[in-house]
Chains A and B, each alone.
Chain A
Amino acid sequence: MPAPIRLRELIRTIRTARTQAEEREMIQKECAAIRSSFREEDNTYRCRNVAKLLYMHMLGYPAHFGQLECLKLIASQKFTDKRIGYLGAMLLLDERQDVHLLMTNCIKNDLNHSTQFVQGLALCTLGCMGSSEMCRDLAGEVEKLLKTSNSYLRKKAALCAVHVIRKVPELMEMFLPATKNLLNEKNHGVLHTSVVLLTEMCERSPDMLAHFRKLVPQLVRILKNLIMSGYSPEHDVSGISDPFLQVRILRLLRILGRNDDDSSEAMNDILAQVATNTETSKNVGNAILYETVLTIMDIKSESGLRVLAINILGRFLLNNDKNIRYVALTSLLKTVQTDHNAVQRHRSTIVDCLKDLDVSIKRRAMELSFALVNGNNIRGMMKELLYFLDSCEPEFKADCASGIFLAAEKYAPSKRWHIDTIMRVLTTAGSYVRDDAVPNLIQLITNSVEIHAYTVQRLYKAILGDYSQQPLVQVAAWCIGEYGDLLISGQCEEEEPIQVTEDEVLDILESVLISNMSTSVTRGYALTAIMKLSTRFTCTVNRIKKVVSIYGSSIDVELQQRAVEYNALFKKYDHMRSALLERMPVMEKVTTNGPTEIVQTNGETEPAPLETKPPPSGPQPTSQANDLLDLLGGNDMTPVIPTAPTSKPASAGGELLDLLGDISLTGMFPVGAPAAAPAPASVPQISQPPFLLDGLSSQPLFNDITSGIPSITAYSKNGLKIEFTFERSNTNPSVTVITIQASNSTELDMTDFVFQAAVPKTFQLQLLSPSSSIVPAFNTGTITQVIKVLNPQKQQLRMRIKLTYNHKGSAMQDLAEVNNFPPQSWQ
């Protein structure tokens, strides 16, 4: 058999292939040759063949038949063989295959080899892809080498130890003795790897952390020498001495100084020195400054140092290098909560970054801008943010719109400004707003009584030109339905009133109904709006009747049901029509900054708080309300849904008024058929405003006999925290009411949040609607939800919860058991 072709020749040949098919053919031919050569157990050319195989593997072709050959090469005595063998092992083998364990013995032998380069190969391979089993077997050898005086091996052993610890954390203890003198080394390689090893140990074990705190002075000294020492050609990078080592030391100092006053104090000076003396003209200097800033912000540094750090970040923001701007924005985002005022000073620079070309920079600038909005700068900031919303990429629009809504709600200087802002968002990014924007906006509008005319006029004008953006059209349709009379009356104080006829209004609503762009939900809004106008318009009632009757035979079941019911209103229940279609009452709104405190009553009925809190009200499906009362079991309870405070028509019977009360609070869709009709299925069951739950808890329905039951943290992972607070019913001792609060400490909102719970068979569970489906970032708000647990057998309460949400663009899901219920919650 002729000698197998050389590696370089193979590469050259393959590169001449002009098509993928040609290449595949060559590869297959060569693979066949290699296979037969392997079968012949040819020692001389094994190395060459495996090297070729590795090349073909990189091109994407299968090479698993070479795995055992790699092992044979490793076992060989020739250095060339070992070199390729270990490389092949690192590329072809992985710990999921049992084959890799065969390496263990070879590596063990090679770790004790007489040639340091062979030992180096073994350490490198083990440190790169050693599995847990291998690490367990060989940790002892690594530990031995960690104590050697050969710096070439010592540095490799240190990093190998890092890998071992990452794979098998329990083995960390055995490396402790060897770390004793690591920092006394002069060799930078050993120093660097030692610092990495110490960092790994401190991050994983609080005991180690405490133990190694005493190294702070030594680390400070080493760092000082690096900065003060003259030019050292061996480690110099653009005038800075060993930046890699400096950065790692700064990182270790960060971990050691965190939450520790003494250590933090010991490193204050050196941090200030590095911060002021490091050359910033090149990336390498900025890399060190960046690490320094991170350290300063994380330890207990004095305020002067912190301001220095933020100013460095501010300077970074002005740097031409966009990489530097990027890290500055990232760091500022981390510090904006704790050092808010300092970051505010750089607001204008941050806002300028909104116009950057780079997507990542824009996103960070946007997040930071939202974090910096406050009552003083709201007008200016909103201008910039709206402009940004106009021009940004689609992937930002949803987050930006949500952020704008939140900011507007918190800091709106006036109602008109608020409505204008929301309208601007709806017109520019209407298709990207989240579902809860529509009911929130409608609520806002109903509460802004004085500008109803202005609002409806603006909305009308907005959809006149373009009715493709569903949220905008929905809000507009609702408003036109409600305030159509104001629209045609031509009265508007805030701006030039427009002249609109009843027919024109109906024209636009009908266009919405017919349009292909309108979703079923939007059509529902439009139809209902048309119906409501039958009591507000005078000349066009017949037209409305006609429209309604046409849709009685619509294919869309939802529309059909409505039309049929509205038709019935016209025909059989005409006397009720005006009462049913009355103007909506003003809804009291609690800010969506999370619900107000879930009160834990402590044994006394408290009528006083009930009066001072705003009367809780809000949409609640009637069926759930009924269940609520049932579960409470007590007929002496005041009904949970309070009647709305504004005027009601005195027409119709008493029960109709009650129904009306329920209906108007159900929200947008007054149901034509009386009594038992359940809320229409299409009521967007989107985020329930929190106040009903507030109402539930602030009313003295539950009297806790014992003093307050301690609340628990039921779940805390990945920045999501869920707390349970408890109340027991005085009248029904088997009922425990749990109020959950979900908060999010990460930098991005968690959306589409769904909380589910299950309890053992002897329990009964009722889960009420949550306050919303978004857990806002940075703990700026919470989702509240009430769970009622019926525990007639007084068994120990246990619960399994399932959480699903979207975070950072990916769907997250987690299951957890809650077992730490305090005994007072179920006994």
Chain B
Amino acid sequence: MQFMLLFSRQGKLRLQKWYVPLSDKEKKKITRELVQTVLARKPKMCSFLEWRDLKIVYKRYASLYFCCAIEDQDNELITLEIIHRYVELLDKYFGSVCELDIIFNFEKAYFILDEFLLGGEVQETSKKNVLKAIEQADLLQEDAK
């Protein structure tokens, strides 16, 4: 995976995780263009599109779009599962997650993502283990206070 973006239906960015080195300017440009492209898609269209030389996989959950850019040899269908797994993790952590949770607790959303993916690849396939790690790290944070 090269990057993952979360954005609202109005095009506001809620999370951006980049696994390739790009300048801030390039990231902004890519984000702007991609958000526009995805938001322009009609509901009946499929979740995949070609964009530049990447494959884009996106899925909408309530008011948030989850959008991943994968490479040619990556499996689009399993990427949909990866997105779904991430949503499940957020849901379990926040308890019925909604966009506001991610807005107000964006740093936690990042922490959870970083326990699930690393360098663009899945690091843990067990939901339980990811959540356990986050829980323990949170405790550590509490203790340190």
A interface residues (Cβ-Cβ under 8 A, vs B): 7-8, 11-12, 15, 51, 54-55, 58-60, 78-80, 83-84, 87, 91, 94-96, 115, 117, 120, 123-124, 127-129, 131, 152, 155-156, 159-160, 162-163, 188-189, 192-193, 196, 234-235, 237, 242-245, 247, 251, 283-284, 286-288, 290-291, 294, 322-327, 357-361, 808, 810
Is the beta-carbon distance between B81 and A189 smaller than 8 angstroms?
no
Interface of A is mostly: helix
B interface residues (Cβ-Cβ under 8 A, vs A): 13-16, 18-19, 21-24, 28, 42, 44-50, 52-53, 73, 75-78, 80-82, 85, 103-104, 106-107, 110-111, 114, 118-119, 121-129, 133, 136-137, 140-141, 144-145
Is the beta-carbon distance between B119 and A163 smaller than 8 angstroms?
yes
Is the beta-carbon distance between A87 and B107 smaller than 8 angstroms?
yes
* Residues of chain A within 8 A of B21, CB atoms compared: 94-96, 129, 131
Residue from the list A55, A247, A360 in contact with B48, Cβ < 8 A: A360
29 A-B pairs whose Cβ atoms sit less than 8 Å apart in the complex? A8-B104, A12-B104, A15-B103, A54-B106, A55-B106, A80-B144, A80-B145, A87-B110, A94-B23, A117-B136, A123-B118, A129-B18, A131-B21, A159-B118, A162-B121, A235-B125, A237-B81, A237-B85, A243-B78, A244-B81, A247-B78, A283-B81, A286-B77, A287-B75, A287-B78, A326-B76, A327-B76, A358-B45, A361-B46
Closest B residue to A356 by beta carbon equals B46
* Residues of chain B within 8 A of A80, CB atoms compared: 141, 144-145
A123 vs B121: C-alpha distance in the bound complex, in angstroms?
14
Is the beta-carbon distance between B80 and A283 smaller than 8 angstroms?
yes
Is the beta-carbon distance between A325 and B114 smaller than 8 angstroms?
no
* Residues of chain A within 8 A of B16, CB atoms compared: 58, 91
Instruction: Decide: A247 near B75, CB < 8 A? Known: A155-B124, A234-B128.
Output: yes
Interface of B is mostly: mixed
* Residues of chain B within 8 A of A234, CB atoms compared: 126-129
* Residues of chain A within 8 A of B28, CB atoms compared: 60
* Residues of chain A within 8 A of B106, CB atoms compared: 54-55, 58
- Please give me the 8 A-B residue pairs with the lowest Cβ-Cβ distance, nearest first: A287-B77, A127-B119, A322-B46, A189-B124, A159-B118, A287-B78, A163-B119, A79-B144
Task: Give the distance to chain B from A51, nearest Cβ to Cβ, in Å.
Answer: 6
Residue from the list A117, A244, A283 in contact with B140, Cβ < 8 A: A117
Is the beta-carbon distance between A358 and B46 smaller than 8 angstroms?
yes
Task: Give the distance to chain A from B3, nearest Cβ to Cβ, in Å.
Answer: 11
Instruction: Decide: A58 near B13, CB < 8 A? Known: A87-B107, A159-B118, A163-B119.
Output: yes
Residue from the list A54, A60, A115, A291 in contact with B78, Cβ < 8 A: A291
Q: Which of A159, A163, A244 has the most CB of B within 10 A?
A: A244
Is the beta-carbon distance between A245 and B125 smaller than 8 angstroms?
yes
Residue from the list B44, B119, B127, B133 in contact with A152, Cβ < 8 A: B133
Residue from the list B46, B81, B126 in contact with A243, Cβ < 8 A: B81
A243 vs B81: C-alpha distance in the bound complex, in angstroms?
9
Closest A residue to B50 by beta carbon equals A360
Task: Give the distance to chain B from A790, nearest Cβ to Cβ, in Å.
Answer: 41
* Residues of chain A within 8 A of B14, CB atoms compared: 58
Residue from the list B22, B45, B53, B129 in contact with A357, Cβ < 8 A: B45
A810 vs B129: C-alpha distance in the bound complex, in angstroms?
44
* Residues of chain A within 8 A of B103, CB atoms compared: 11, 15
* Residues of chain A within 8 A of B44, CB atoms compared: 322, 357-358
Is the beta-carbon distance between B13 and A323 smaller than 8 angstroms?
no
Residue from the list A83, A96, A247, A324 in contact with B137, Cβ < 8 A: A83
Is the beta-carbon distance between B125 and A188 smaller than 8 angstroms?
yes
Is the beta-carbon distance between B46 and A287 smaller than 8 angstroms?
no
Is the beta-carbon distance between A156 and B118 smaller than 8 angstroms?
yes
Q: Which of A15, A128, A160, A188 has the most CB of B within 10 A?
A: A128
Is the beta-carbon distance between B75 and A290 smaller than 8 angstroms?
yes
Residue from the list A11, A188, A358 in contact with B104, Cβ < 8 A: A11
Is the beta-carbon distance between A323 and B123 smaller than 8 angstroms?
no
Task: Give the distance to chain B from A290, nearest Cβ to Cβ, in Å.
Answer: 5
Task: Give the distance to chain B from A289, nearest Cβ to Cβ, in Å.
Answer: 9
Residue from the list B24, B73, B119, B136 in contact with A128, Cβ < 8 A: B119
* Residues of chain A within 8 A of B137, CB atoms compared: 79, 83, 117
Closest A residue to B88 by beta carbon equals A237
A324 vs B21: C-alpha distance in the bound complex, in angstroms?
32
A291 vs B81: C-alpha distance in the bound complex, in angstroms?
14
Is the beta-carbon distance between A244 and B82 smaller than 8 angstroms?
yes
Is the beta-carbon distance between A196 and B107 smaller than 8 angstroms?
no
* Residues of chain A within 8 A of B85, CB atoms compared: 237
A95 vs B76: C-alpha distance in the bound complex, in angstroms?
29
Task: Give the distance to chain A from B95, nearest Cβ to Cβ, in Å.
Answer: 17
* Residues of chain B within 8 A of A60, CB atoms compared: 13, 28
A131 vs B21: C-alpha distance in the bound complex, in angstroms?
9
* Residues of chain A within 8 A of B81, CB atoms compared: 237, 243-244, 283-284, 287
* Residues of chain A within 8 A of B133, CB atoms compared: 117, 120, 152
Closest B residue to A62 by beta carbon equals B24
Q: Which of B73, B77, B140 has the most CB of A within 10 A?
A: B77
A8 vs B28: C-alpha distance in the bound complex, in angstroms?
25
Task: Give the distance to chain A from B34, nearest Cβ to Cβ, in Å.
Answer: 15
Task: Give the distance to chain A from B62, nearest Cβ to Cβ, in Å.
Answer: 18
Closest A residue to B105 by beta carbon equals A8
Task: Give the distance to chain B from A825, nearest Cβ to Cβ, in Å.
Answer: 36
* Residues of chain B within 8 A of A79, CB atoms compared: 137, 140-141, 144
Is the beta-carbon distance between A325 and B46 smaller than 8 angstroms?
yes
Is the beta-carbon distance between A287 and B119 smaller than 8 angstroms?
no
Q: Which of B21, B106, B114, B125 has the most CB of A within 10 A?
A: B125
- What would 16 more interface pairs be, CB under 8 Å, given A234-B126, A235-B125? A54-B106, A58-B106, A79-B137, A80-B141, A83-B111, A117-B140, A188-B125, A196-B121, A234-B128, A244-B78, A251-B73, A287-B81, A294-B75, A323-B77, A326-B48, A327-B77
* Residues of chain A within 8 A of B104, CB atoms compared: 8, 11-12
A810 vs B52: C-alpha distance in the bound complex, in angstroms?
8
Task: Give the distance to chain B from A291, nearest Cβ to Cβ, in Å.
Answer: 5
Is the beta-carbon distance between B76 and A244 smaller than 8 angstroms?
no
A283 vs B125: C-alpha distance in the bound complex, in angstroms?
17
Task: Give the distance to chain B from A107, nearest Cβ to Cβ, in Å.
Answer: 14
Is the beta-carbon distance between B119 and A96 smaller than 8 angstroms?
no
Task: Give the distance to chain B from A687, nearest Cβ to Cβ, in Å.
Answer: 27
